[in-house]
């Protein structure tokens, strides 16, 4: 069950594949820094710090997955994307992962690029794409925002877990005997349950913030509702 951990430990993926994903993560985070500079202002900068601190604190709280004999915790990609946007959000999650690896040994330092790719990049991107879609079709009420947060949180965890499956296929150090589909199914099953917890935490947090300070929810500010269809003039020239 060690290979099911989203925080990949040293030795699970071979060195060359880990190095490739480290370079990929560094390139994407560099892009995030450049794009985030356009978004950061007097409101978003302190919010980014609060989001990173909140994700770090909540990740310390694990909830058991009794059916799999493992435990799960908040990844934070969807929460960060909703509150501070995809660029700053990915940086927030990446900072949390770096601190956890260097200070607490949660995930191997050599595997840091893999973990950042899965949780900070893939999870946040998948969540924000879904958020952008759902906020265009759902009402911008607490219920609509809650559904958006829950679904995006759930999906972000599943996408991050399948990122690990791809990485293991490319450079896993243990031979699965061609049973990659079994690994993918096991990862999806376990992380579906973790995703439910992720979705509930994300929805509760974002709806609470939106009720008090909706201007602090990046997604509500940046993603405009779909414009209504323009009226078509009636033939014949109605007066």
pLDDT the model gives residue 38:
83
- Is the residue at 5 inside a domain? no
- Is the residue at 92 inside a domain? yes
For the entire predicted model, the pTM comes to: 0.86
- Is the residue at 150 inside a domain? yes
H or E segment at 65?
strand 63-65
- Is the residue at 83 inside a domain? yes
For the cut 90, the answer to whether the pLDDT of residue 107 exceeds it is: no
Average pLDDT, integer, range 23-33: 96
Helices (H) and strands (E) in the chain, counts: 9, 2
H helical segments located in the chain = 15-39, 44-59, 77-84, 86-99, 112-115, 123-137, 142-171, 180-212, 218-222
- Is the residue at 7 inside a domain? no
Q: Can you give the CATH number for the domain in which 197 is found?
A: 1.10.1760.20
Provide φ and ψ at 65, rounded to 5°: -110, 95
For the cut 60, the answer to whether the pLDDT of residue 175 exceeds it is: yes
Band of residue 232 on the pLDDT scale cut at 50, 70, 90: very low
Give the pair of three-digit tokens for residue 150: 């829950």
What single-letter DSSP state applies at residue 71? E
CA distance 196 to 155: 9
CA distance 39 to 2: 39
- Is the residue at 3 inside a domain? no
Tally of domains in the chain: 1
Give the pair of three-digit tokens for residue 120: 């900070």
Average pLDDT, integer, range 29-54: 88
Q: Residue 67, Cβ neighbours under 10 Å: how many? A: 9
Cα torsion 207, 209, 212, 216: sign: negative
Q: Residue 30, Cβ neighbours under 10 Å: how many? A: 10
CB neighbour list of residue 27: distance below 8 Å, 6 or more residues apart: none
pLDDT the model gives residue 227:
56
pLDDT the model gives residue 132:
95
pLDDT the model gives residue 1:
39
- Is the residue at 154 inside a domain? yes
- Is the residue at 81 inside a domain? yes
Comparing 105-109, 117-121, 222-226, which segment has the lowest mean pLDDT? 222-226
Q: Which domain holds residue 136?
A: 15-221
What single-letter DSSP state applies at residue 101? I
Band of residue 119 on the pLDDT scale cut at 50, 70, 90: very high
């Amino acid at each position: 069950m060690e290979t099911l951990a989203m925080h990949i430990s040293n030795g699970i993926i071979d060195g060359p594949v880990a190095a490739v994903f480290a370079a990929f993560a560094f390139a994407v985070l560099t892009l995030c820094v450049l794009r985030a500079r356009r978004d950061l202002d007097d409101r978003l900068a302190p919010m980014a710090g609060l989001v990173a601190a909140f994700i770090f604190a909540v990740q310390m709280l694990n909830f058991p997955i009794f059916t799999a004999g493992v435990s799960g915790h908040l990844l934070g990609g969807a929460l960060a994307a909703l509150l501070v946007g995809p660029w700053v959000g990915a940086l927030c999650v990446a900072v949390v992962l770096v601190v956890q690896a260097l200070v607490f040994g949660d995930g191997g330092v050599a595997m840091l690029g893999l973990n950042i790719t899965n949780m900070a990049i893939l999870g946040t991107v998948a969540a924000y794409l879904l958020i952008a879609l759902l906020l265009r079709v759902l009402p911008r009420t607490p219920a609509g925002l809650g559904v958006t947060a829950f679904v995006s949180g759930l999906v972000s965890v599943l996408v991050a877990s399948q990122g690990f499956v791809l990485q293991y296929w490319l450079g896993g150090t243990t031979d699965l005997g061609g049973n990659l589909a079994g690994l993918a199914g096991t990862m999806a099953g376990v992380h579906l349950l973790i995703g439910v917890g992720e979705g509930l935490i994300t929805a509760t947090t974002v709806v609470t913030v939106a009720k008090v300070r909706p201007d602090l929810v990046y997604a509500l500010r940046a993603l405009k509702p779909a414009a209504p269809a323009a009226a078509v003039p009636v033939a014949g020239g109605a007066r």
